[in-house]
Chains A and B, each alone.
Chain A
Amino acid sequence: MASIVRMPEVLANVTEAAIANWLVQKGQEVAVGAPLAEVETEKAVVEYAAEIGGTVLELLVAEGASVAVGEPIAVIGAPGETSDDAPASPPVAAEQAATTEQAAAPEPETAPEAAPSPVAGAPDTLPSGAAGSAGSTTAGRRFISPIVRRLAKERGIDLDSVRGTGPDGRIVRRDLDRLPQPVAPTAAQPARPAAPSPDAMGGYDEIPLTGMRRAIARRLTESKTTVPHFYVVADARMDALLALRAELNEDGEVKISVNDLLVKAAAGAFRTVPDANATWADTVIRRHRSVDISIAVAIEGGLVTPVLRGVDRRSIGEVATASADLVDRARRGRLKQDELEGGSFSISNLGMYGVKEFSAIINPPQSAILAVGAAAPRAVVEGDQVVVRRVMTVTLSADHRVIDGALAAQWIAAFVDLVEHPVRILR
């Protein structure tokens, strides 16, 4: 019996994805878990692995083509089966596909608290009670009435930030009418000069938006406009940590980076201040039992933030190995979708570019991000002496809904303490 393979919902709330590359050919035998295709969403290119084994009978979607999640993309038959045996309509396979989709993207609201890793549904910052309680019909899709789509476009409203109160959580006109009217655009419109032609301005090139660029724009705009950020800044003396790293790397098989140690230090700080390891979930605050830290990786055309899971429970060597692997695969576009989801905290390190300090935008649904500057020799007062130390400035951006100022201060103090006494990081 041949089965239909459907476009997976590689990320919650993604309704469409493209086949970037087929990794199999028609007629090829595949085993369970073998990569079938690279699926490109607006966030990343991920490998999609076969969930059943057999012979690839048909590839239904051309490379580069986008299809809706749930659409058939390939037909896999039992070994020896031909495409003639494939079902014209796939009732059985549809059930299988539905099952796997549910498994891949459980409803965020209904995920058991005991789940050891964060669940799918990364941008679900604003699930409404209605949507959450509406069951599987709303899984992965928000309902928006036609007039609301039209008005949102006209008024420049980002509907991701709007709570729907209609049936099944549908965003209806009243939900928009409730919002403060965006006065500025309309007031500014008459005064806005006519757009000068490219020639008059000396010309420019228009670069089409990639899915990733759109996602960065959408998600960070949403974060910066809806998450109440505040910042705490601290300096940390890095001499001890750098010395430790040199020592660790002397004979270690695994090369440990400064960043690996900072990730471990952050995990340690969360162990000291567990209340900070929490995220906002609209109706509740989730305090996470595992420390999962995203690391920002610049890649061609943007950045991705793969997650290091259970950093608090892993040795520095394990963290370094996992981190290197993630960075390597991120740059080659080979991350899996679950490696991009979850976490409560990110570290963004621009130190290698000589940046002294900066502040970063929180990566929803996380509640904090640490911006790491360069470790550079600076004059430091120790006791009554001015001495030269290698000093790094770190800036914590925190979501005030979850983390109050004192909590942030406690956390950053714990972090600085660990960095300055790095042997404790290895505990």
Chain B
Amino acid sequence: MPNRSRLEASVDWIRLDSTPDDWKRADPALLIGMLSELHLIRAFEETVLELAGEGLVHGPAHSSIGQEGGAVGSIIGLRSADGVNGSHRGHHQFLAKALTHVTSGRFAIDGIVTGEVDTVLQRTLAEILGLAQGYCRGRGGSMHLQWFEAGALGTNAIVGGGVPMGAGNAWAQRHAGTTDLTMSYFGDGAVNIGSVLETMNLAAAWDLPFGFFIENNLYAVSTEVHEVTGEPRLSGRGPGFGIPAWQVDGMDPLAVHLATEEATARMRAGEGPAVIEAEVYRFFHQNGPYPGSAFGYRSKDEESSWRERDPIARMTRELLALGTITEAQADAAREQAVQAMKEVAGRLVERDPESDGKRRIKPDLWPDPAFVDVGIRGDASELADVPTLEPLEYTGETRSGRFVDSVAGVMHHRMEQDDRIIVLGEDVHRLNGGTNGATKNLAKDFPGRVLGTPISENAFVGLGGGMALDGRYRPVVEFMYPDFLWVAADQVFNQIGKARHMFGGDNPVPLVLRTKVAMGSGYGSQHLMDPAGVFATSVGWRVVAPSTAADYIGLMNTALDLQDPVLVIEHIDLYPLTEETPVDLDYRLPLGKAAVRRVGSDVTMISYLSMVRHSLEAVERTGVDAEVIDLRWLDRASLDWDTIGESIRKTNAVLIVEQGAQGTSYGGWLSDEIQRRFFDWLDQPVQRVTGSEASPSISKVLERAAIARTEEVVAGLERVVAGMGER
């Protein structure tokens, strides 16, 4: 018989309920503030549903009616510098934060709609309607509401997708030496998704001032919480990660407020994250103005029992009982909110002259369609005064060293100069510079700024994204292998890549993501991709792929200057090469400038990274008079079309050279662009060198067969020569 003893979680898991005594002791101004925000949000949401019913809200209108108590109770006590991000059902979270920001949570019960409040209501409704005056210029709509100044970091349409970014905001707050915190709101559906659980682990590991606020409304669309989890008391997730947790009645705003006070005291004291589970109920279906019972997944009895717990009724009842307000004042508060929303809507919609009895959006309020692509990336004006150097023309002093030492060296140099730079990734802090020595000496010389992460790419790259959006730090994230982008795809592409544009086009996202192509290393099917094609065809990212150490230094410096996410691709074949580099590590390579590595007249070879060398070797072997262009910058916005175009007009033939698999290849989009831009200059189809269709296998022979090296480039050149006809 083994010895068995009971283990306890290391942290508390608390059920908190308010008492009559709590209500008596509560600051009346706080309670009036709560009632005012509840009324404003309720009237706002009713207006949204009304407009949605008239077809004036494009896309879904996820109503928060019924759930307002959780957001108001938890947010009214926060500072403007505290961050809040939220979910697809986020109007109430956003409004509570924005209203608290402009009023400090204090309202006069007889005049709850001040000018600032009115502006918040109007700009929020305008955003939901997709209008230019909205907080995100109409881009974000209902599901992407952001107002940075108010600490509203942005609501999110990917379930759980905002949580890692919120943790990044919390990291920045803590490491900037503040006592500010970040609260991330999500629902019972999101509590089971990896982003949330990975972030719980990471936030606890790093003691981040980060609150996980679970709005448990019992239904993920129509799926009931008991159907999808063995522990429907969702706050129970916290203790398993070492995070204390509170469960509270979300229909009782004061109880939520009290639980939040306990949790935030801990967060502000640097003791790490907290979980708050608020039991709430949305009175309507997932979206639109009908109750869930209309769709058959819950009963009318259940709905009416929750309606009796309406947080507005509760607040009103308590305030009347306390004698804080009169019945007439209570009725008038509702009237003020309803009237305010009527006026706000009246400024945005008008009678439709072409359709009797209908309303329409005032036509002059729409965004200019020409705005569609503005702000996908920054304008790179941050590079305007930066001195640049072209290594091809450099004649000054050089030093000799291994490529990988330049990788670590330039980062070391920049971290000395710029305290904002933070390096994070798996094992970057150990093994004398990570698995390849690319972060050598950084952890030793910059304690606290080189963060070894758990193996949860989605969480730590998302955390980097949150740091970047905060703006106080410049995260340099490492993916040990490029294929991990699939693990982290939501954060990399849906969040980091789209954040600036989606929230209106103004937020810088200065993040550098490093990764190394490892084809030839035998790591097999799941580690050996070239990520260039996937990133180049995804919105928002800039991509560099240096083929020389001197270029690496200059490109990394430029990448660290840019206010955009930049993928820096490295290659293990390049790491051990000994190269000459300028002694000074401060130089930048200009944005969007390719290098012509060989001048020729027969064919334009376009390549990057390690394949530039293979291209030059193949030219030597074949004797073809090729012009070899080393792209350096690979993304749609930064590609050097001038150099490419000049060469194609001369040679009339193109060979795009890359190493990796065909499917996610880089050259696919590039050859498409080339044939459309230069069709009349081509003498033969754009030719390609790629790997095979398969992902490279571990077997040495099969791996070699799957990837391109010099021999495959030679074959590519021979195809080009055949296409040139007889001499």
A166 contacts the other chain (CB 8 A): yes
B722 touches A174 (CB 8 A): no
Q: Which of A322-363 contact B (CB under 8 A)?
A: none
A146 contacts the other chain (CB 8 A): yes
A302 contacts the other chain (CB 8 A): no
A147 contacts the other chain (CB 8 A): yes
A165 touches B725 (CB 8 A): yes
Q: Which of B83-100 contact A (CB under 8 A)?
A: none
Q: Which of B664-708 contact A (CB under 8 A)?
A: 679-684
Closest to B652 in A: A147
A173 touches B652 (CB 8 A): yes
A29 contacts the other chain (CB 8 A): no
A residues contacting the other copy or chain, number (CB 8 A):
15
Q: Given A147-B652, A173-B652, decide whether A166 and B681 contact each other with a Cβ distance below 8 A.
A: no
By secondary structure, the B interface counts as loop
A175 touches B681 (CB 8 A): no
B727 contacts the other chain (CB 8 A): yes
Closest to B684 in A: A145
A147 touches B724 (CB 8 A): no
The answer for the CA separation of A173 and B723 in the assembled complex, in Å, is 10
A140 contacts the other chain (CB 8 A): no
| B residues near A165, Cβ cutoff 8 Å | 725-726
| B residues near A175, Cβ cutoff 8 Å | 725-726
Q: How far is the CB of A167 from chain B (nearest CB, A)?
A: 6
Q: Which of B606-658 contact A (CB under 8 A)?
A: 652
Name the residue in A145, A164, A173 with the highest tally of chain B Cβ atoms < 10 Å from its Cβ: A145
A427 contacts the other chain (CB 8 A): no
A19 contacts the other chain (CB 8 A): no
The answer for the CA separation of A203 and B683 in the assembled complex, in Å, is 42
A400 contacts the other chain (CB 8 A): no
The answer for the CA separation of A164 and B723 in the assembled complex, in Å, is 11
A172 contacts the other chain (CB 8 A): yes
Q: Name the contact of A148 in the complex, choosing from B683, B722, B727 (C-beta under 8 A).
A: B683
The answer for the CA separation of A148 and B681 in the assembled complex, in Å, is 8
Closest to B679 in A: A146
Q: How far is the CB of A132 from chain B (nearest CB, A)?
A: 16
| A residues near B682, Cβ cutoff 8 Å | 145-147
Q: How far is the CB of A153 from chain B (nearest CB, A)?
A: 10
A174 touches B724 (CB 8 A): yes
A172 touches B724 (CB 8 A): yes
A150 contacts the other chain (CB 8 A): yes
Q: Given A147-B652, A173-B652, decide whether A167 and B723 contact each other with a Cβ distance below 8 A.
A: yes
Q: Name the contact of B680 in the complex, choosing from A146, A166, A170, A173 (C-beta under 8 A).
A: A146
Q: How far is the CB of A356 from chain B (nearest CB, A)?
A: 49
| A residues near B724, Cβ cutoff 8 Å | 166, 172-174
B683 touches A145 (CB 8 A): yes
Q: Which of A120-178 contact B (CB under 8 A)?
A: 145-150, 164-167, 170, 172-175
Q: Name the contact of B723 in the complex, choosing from A149, A150, A166 (C-beta under 8 A).
A: A166
The answer for the CA separation of A166 and B652 in the assembled complex, in Å, is 14
The answer for the CA separation of A174 and B721 in the assembled complex, in Å, is 11
Closest to A174 in B: B725
Q: How far is the CB of B11 from chain A (nearest CB, A)?
A: 66
Q: Which of A217-267 contact B (CB under 8 A)?
A: none
A166 touches B684 (CB 8 A): yes
Name the residue in A147, A150, A165 with the highest tally of chain B Cβ atoms < 10 Å from its Cβ: A147
| B residues near A147, Cβ cutoff 8 Å | 652, 680-683
The answer for the CA separation of A109 and B682 in the assembled complex, in Å, is 30
Q: Which of A62-102 contact B (CB under 8 A)?
A: none
A173 touches B683 (CB 8 A): yes
| A residues near B727, Cβ cutoff 8 Å | 174
Name the residue in B681, B682, B684, B725 with the highest tally of chain A Cβ atoms < 10 Å from its Cβ: B725
A150 touches B683 (CB 8 A): no
Closest to A166 in B: B725
The answer for the CA separation of A172 and B652 in the assembled complex, in Å, is 10
A146 touches B681 (CB 8 A): yes
Closest to B722 in A: A167
Q: Name the contact of B725 in the complex, choosing from A146, A149, A150, A164 (C-beta under 8 A).
A: A164
| A residues near B681, Cβ cutoff 8 Å | 146-147, 150
The answer for the CA separation of A173 and B720 in the assembled complex, in Å, is 13
Interface membership of chain A positions 2-25, coded 1 if the CB is closer than 8 angstroms to chain B and 0 otherwise: 000000000000000000000000
Q: Given A147-B652, A166-B684, decide whether A174 and B726 contact each other with a Cβ distance below 8 A.
A: yes
Q: How far is the CB of B239 from chain A (nearest CB, A)?
A: 62
Q: Name the contact of A150 in the complex, choosing from B680, B684, B722 (C-beta under 8 A).
A: B680
Q: How far is the CB of B723 from chain A (nearest CB, A)?
A: 6
Q: How far is the CB of A169 from chain B (nearest CB, A)?
A: 10
The answer for the CA separation of A167 and B718 in the assembled complex, in Å, is 13
Interface membership of chain A positions 105-120, coded 1 if the CB is closer than 8 angstroms to chain B and 0 otherwise: 0000000000000000
| A residues near B722, Cβ cutoff 8 Å | 167
B683 touches A172 (CB 8 A): yes
Closest to A175 in B: B725
B679 touches A170 (CB 8 A): no
B684 touches A172 (CB 8 A): yes
| A residues near B679, Cβ cutoff 8 Å | 146
The answer for the CA separation of A356 and B514 in the assembled complex, in Å, is 88
Q: How far is the CB of A148 from chain B (nearest CB, A)?
A: 7
| B residues near A146, Cβ cutoff 8 Å | 679-683
| B residues near A167, Cβ cutoff 8 Å | 684, 722-723
The answer for the CA separation of A175 and B683 in the assembled complex, in Å, is 11
| A residues near B680, Cβ cutoff 8 Å | 146-147, 149-150
Q: Which of A163-209 contact B (CB under 8 A)?
A: 164-167, 170, 172-175
| A residues near B684, Cβ cutoff 8 Å | 145, 166-167, 170, 172
* B interface, CB within 8 angstroms of A: 652, 679-684, 722-727
> Given A166-B723, A172-B725, A174-B724, list of 4 further CB < 8 A pairs?
A146-B680, A166-B724, A173-B725, A174-B725
11 A-B residue pairs with Cβ-Cβ distance under 8 Å, sorted by A, are A146-B679, A146-B682, A147-B681, A147-B683, A170-B684, A172-B684, A172-B723, A172-B724, A172-B725, A173-B652, A173-B724
* A interface, CB within 8 angstroms of B: 145-150, 164-167, 170, 172-175
9 closest Cβ contacts across the A-B interface? A165-B725, A165-B726, A172-B725, A166-B725, A173-B683, A145-B683, A147-B652, A174-B725, A147-B683
